[in-house]
Chain A
Amino acid sequence: MTILKATHLTKKFGKFTALDGVNMEVNEGEVYGFIGPNGAGKSTTIRILLGMLKATQGEAKIFGKDVWSDAVDIHKRIAYVPGDVNLWPTLSGGEVIDLFMKMNGSTNYRKREELIERFNFDPTKKSRTYSKGNRQKVALIAAFASDADLFILDEPTSGLDPLMEHIFQECVLEAKRAGKSVLLSSHILSEVEKLCDRVGIIRQGKMIETGTLDELRHLTRTNLTIETKEPIPSLKERKGIHNIEKNDSALTFQVDTEEMDAVIRYISEFGILKLESAPPKLEDLFMRHYQGAEHSKSRVEGSL
C-alpha cells in the first residue's frame, strides 16, 4: 500500500526553481532513503510534504490526503525530525518532549521514559544548554515515542555520537518491524545502506535515480582485483572495463555490471590465481551522481 505519493512536485522561489518535477513513492512498512548533495532540494521536498511550503505545481498525498489542505489531519499520524532541531531556550528538554508528543496527540509515557533511558538523555536541563546532539535527541525521543505511521527524518543523526547513532538505527528498524514507514534523508551512506529498502537520489531539484539498492547497484560497477598466471594483453580495449591499476602482479579495475559475464570469461583464459570482487558501494553510485553535471549525465545515459 502506498503511504506517500508525490507526483511532479515543482517549487519555485521567485525565478529560482528549487524542485523540478519530483516524483516519490513510499510504501507501507518500507524505509525509503532520500539522498542528494547539499542544496539539491531534499529539505524543500520535505517541507512541502509537511504542508509548510505550497508546491508551485504537482501534488503530494500522504495516507491518500493532500499534504497542503489536510496537513493537520495527516500530521496526527506523522513524526518529523529535522536535521537542525531548534528549541525554545527557556523550556526544559522534558517539557519540549511532552509538548511535541501532545501536539501529535499521542501520550505514551512508558515509551517516553524508555527512550530517555536508551538515549541517555537528561530532560531537566533548559534547552539553551543542550549541545546539538542533545537537541537532536529531544526530537528523536518525541518522534519514536509517538504512535506515528510515517516517520519523516531529515538528516536525523547529525550531531549524534556513534553509540547514539546505533540506537537510532535500532529504533528505525523497530519501527519498520512494526509495519511503519520511514522517509530517511541522510548523508551517511552506510546508514542508508543498512536501513533503506529503496533509495531516491535528487540533484539540482530533479529525481535522477530511484529503485531498490540492488536495482541501483545494477547500474554501477563492481570492483575486481585479479592475479593471473599469464599477463592479459589488451585488457584496456575490452568493453566495460574502467580504471585499470597495476600493483606488482595484481590488477585492479572496475567492470560494468552488464559486462561482467564476458569479462570473467575472457580473463579466465589466462589462468586465474586470485580473484577478489567487492560489491559496488552506495558511495560509488553517489559519487557518480554528485560529480559534475556533464560527467555524470553521460555516464547515467551510458549505463541505462
Chain B
Amino acid sequence: MGTQYFKGTKTLTRFIFRQQRFKILVWLISLTVITLSVAAAYPSIYKDEQSRQAASFTMDNPAMIAMLGPGYEIDEYVNSVGAMFANEMLLFTAIAVGIMSILLVGRTTRADEEDGRIEMIRALSVGRLSYASAAMIVIVSTNILLAVLIGVGLASLGIEGIGVEGSFLYGAILGATGLVFAALTAIFAQASETSRGTTMFSFMALIIAYLIRAIGDVSSEALSWLSPLGWTVRTGVFAGNDWWPVIVSFVFALVVGFVAFYLQSIRDLGSGFIAARKGRKNASAFLQTSLGLTFRLQRTNIIAWAIGLFLLSSSFGAILGDLEAYFADIEFMEAFIEAESDYSLTEQFLTLLMAIMSLISLIPAVMVILKLKGEETKNLTENFYSRAVSRTRVLGSHFFLAVVVSFIMQSLVALGLWSVSGSVMDEPLSFVTTFSSAYVYLPAIWVVVALTILLVGAVPKLTGVVWLYVVYCFVVVYLGDLLDFPVWMNNLSVFSYIPQIPIDDMNVMTMGVLTLIAIGLSVIGFTGYNKRDIAG
C-alpha cells in the first residue's frame, strides 16, 4: 500500500522545492526582514513607560481591536514593548503567511493538475498521493522554517520585553496559521476543478476568517473561536504566552489536511467535487465586443473583490459606532491624539481607513490590466490579433475596465462605510465626506494602473514590478509614520500626495497633476504595446 500511494515522494519533494525555491525564498526573507526590522524599531518608538501608556490607550478601542485583534491589559503594554509589537504586527503578518501558504499550495496542487503536469508525473512510477504529499512536505517545511527563522531572529535581537519564549511562540503561531490555510487550500483544491476556483475559495476563507474574528473580538468572544485567525491573536505573545492556540491550529491543520488527502485518494485525476457547469451555445451580443470579453473573463474575480471590499468596509462601518462611543467616554484621550478640534476622532480614523481601503481596491484594478499579460503568456492573445482587432482596442478595453473597476470598488468602500456606520453612530458621517474621501484616491489608483499599462506595453518582462510598488505603498501607509521614514521615501508612494479628506482640504491641483501623470504613463504604455512583438 505504501508503494501504491507514496512511491517517489522524496524525489518529487526535491522537484517541487526546486521549482518553488525562488518564491519560497522571497516570502521567507521578506517576512523575516519586515518582522525583525519593525521589532527592532519598537524600543526607540516607545522609549519610556509614559509613551507606552499613551499608546496603549489608542490600542484599546473597538476600531483597533477589530483591525488588529483583542488588545492586552494596559499594564502588559506598559511593561513590555513586545506586547505592543505583537498586537500591531501579529495578525497582519499571520495573514501574509496565510497568503503565502494559499499561493504555494494552490500552485503545487490544482494549478499543476489543471495544466496537465501532474498527469505526466502520475504516468511515471510514482504513488497516487506522492505529488500531493511532496507538495505538503514542502509547504510544511516552509512554515516550520519560517517559525524557526522568526523565533530565532526575534530572540537574538535581545530587546527588553521580547523574550525568548515569546519570540518562539510568535514564530510558531505564524507557522501554525500558515499551515491552517495550507490545509484549507488543499481541501479547496479537491473541491474545485480549477486553480482559479481553488485560490478564490481559499482567499474567501481567509477574508471570512478575518471578518468573523473582527466581529467576534469586538462583540462576542465565542464567535472569534470559530475563526483560525481568532486563535492566532489569542496567544498573548510576550505577556501570557499561551501555547494552546498553536496546538489547536496545528491539530486543525492536521485533521483538515488528512481529509484533503482522503478526498484526493478517492477522486479521479482532473476532476473536482464541485462539477463544472455547462456553457451557452451562443455568445451574447455583449460578449462579442472587446470590452465584453475582457469583462466576462474577469467577471468572477471582479465580483469577488467587490463583495469582499464591501464586506470589509461595512464591518469597519459597524465598529465606527463603538469607536465613537469609546471616544466620547474617554475625553482625556484627546490629549494623546492630535487635538484638531474641527474634526472628530472618527473622522481622523476615517482617513487612515480610506488610505488602506484604497490600496486594497487598487489590487483588482491592477489585476485587470495584468490579465492581458497573462493572456499573452498563455498564447491567448493570438486569438484577437490574428483577427480584425487592434492592439489599441484590446489594451484600451482593459484600461477602461480598470478605471471602471477602481470607481466601483471605491464606491463600494464608501457605501459600506457610510450605510452601516450611519445606523450605528450618533453623529453619522456625512454622505459627501465619506464618498469624497474615497474618490479622492482615484487619481492615485489611476497612476498605478497606468504604470501597469506602461510595464505591460513597453517592458513586459518587468510587469511583476508593479506588485513591488503596491507593497511599497502599503508599507508607507501602514508603517511610514511608525518607522519614521524619511520624506523622500514617503514621497515615492503616489498615495502620499492624496489629501486626507476631511482633515485636509481638497486639492484640485494635485488631483489634476496625478491624472496627467496617469495619462502620460498610459500613452507610453499604449505606444510601446503597439510597437512590440506579441509573444502569443
Contacts and interface: CB of A to CB of B under 8 A. Distances in A.
Given A90-B297, A94-B283, A52 B276 contact: no
Contact of B279 (A50, A84, A91): A91
B111 to A, nearest CB: 12
B280 A95 contact: yes
Contact of A95 (B277, B283, B389, B533): B283
A86 B379 contact: yes
A193 to B, nearest CB: 27
Interface in B356-406: 378-380, 382-390
B531 to A, nearest CB: 8
Contacts of A98: 282-283, 287-288
Contacts of A217: none
A71 interface: yes
A82 B382 contact: yes
B103 interface: no
B293 interface: yes
Interface residue SS majority, chain A: mixed
A192 interface: no
Interface stretch (A30-38, A101-109, A223-231): A101-109
Contact of A99 (B288, B378, B388, B390): B288
Nearest to A98: B283
A124 B385 CA distance: 25
A92 B388 contact: no
B348 to A, nearest CB: 44
Interface stretch (A72-80, A157-165, A272-280): A72-80
Contacts of A50: 382, 385-386
Given A52-B386, A75-B389, A124 B281 contact: yes
B10 interface: no
B194 interface: yes
Contacts of B278: 92, 124-126
Contacts of B385: 50-52, 71, 75
Nearest to A107: B288
B281 A123 contact: yes
Given A52-B382, A84-B379, A102 B288 contact: yes
B267 interface: no
A54 B296 CA distance: 30
Nearest to B296: A91
Given A88-B297, A88-B380, A98-B288, A80 B387 contact: yes
Given A98-B288, A99-B293, A103-B389, A125 B384 contact: no
A150 B387 CA distance: 12
Contacts of A82: 379, 382, 386
Contact of B283 (A87, A102, A105): A102
A123 B390 CA distance: 27
B193, B280, B287, B383, most chain A CB atoms within 10 A: B383
A128 B271 CA distance: 11
Given A53-B533, A86-B383, A76 B388 contact: yes
A58 B449 CA distance: 37
A148 B385 CA distance: 15
Q: Which of A72, A105, A129 counts the most chain B CB atoms within 10 A?
A: A72
Interface residues of A, number: 41
A80 B388 CA distance: 11
Contacts of B38: none
A77 to B, nearest CB: 9
Interface string A112-134: 00000000000111101100000
B99 interface: no
A91 B296 CA distance: 9
A95 B282 contact: yes
A75 B288 contact: no
Interface residues of B, number: 33
Nearest to A123: B281
Contacts of B532: 54
B205 interface: no
B534 interface: yes
Contacts of A156: none
Contacts of A95: 279-280, 282-283, 287
A93 interface: yes
A84 B379 CA distance: 9
Contacts of A90: 296-297, 300
A126 B382 CA distance: 20
Looking at B287, B386, B388, which has the most chain A CB atoms within 10 Å of its CB? B386
A140 to B, nearest CB: 14
Interface in B282-300: 282-283, 287-288, 293, 296-297, 300
Interface in B25-45: none
Given A126-B277, A126-B278, A128-B194, A53 B534 contact: yes
B279 A94 contact: yes
Contacts of A76: 388
A99 B280 CA distance: 13
B213 to A, nearest CB: 32
Contacts of A53: 533-534
A144 interface: no
Which among A73, A97, A126 has the highest number of chain B CB atoms within 10 Å? A126
Contacts of B390: 71-72
A138 to B, nearest CB: 10
A179 interface: no
B298 to A, nearest CB: 10
A220 B410 CA distance: 71
Contacts of A73: 388
Contacts of A102: 283, 288
A89 interface: yes
B388 A104 contact: yes
B288 A92 contact: no
Contacts of A80: 382, 386-387
Interface string A185-204: 00000000000000000000
A100 interface: yes
Contacts of A75: 385-389
Nearest to B278: A124
B279 A78 contact: no
A103 B380 CA distance: 14
Given A52-B534, A94-B283, 7 more contacts: A76-B388, A78-B386, A93-B279, A94-B282, A95-B282, A98-B282, A125-B279
Interface of B: 193-194, 276-283, 287-288, 293, 296-297, 300, 378-380, 382-390, 531-534, 536
27 contacts: A47-B382, A47-B534, A50-B386, A52-B382, A54-B532, A54-B533, A72-B390, A75-B385, A86-B378, A86-B379, A87-B380, A87-B383, A92-B279, A92-B281, A94-B280, A97-B283, A98-B282, A98-B287, A99-B283, A99-B287, A100-B383, A103-B383, A103-B387, A123-B282, A124-B281, A125-B278, A126-B277
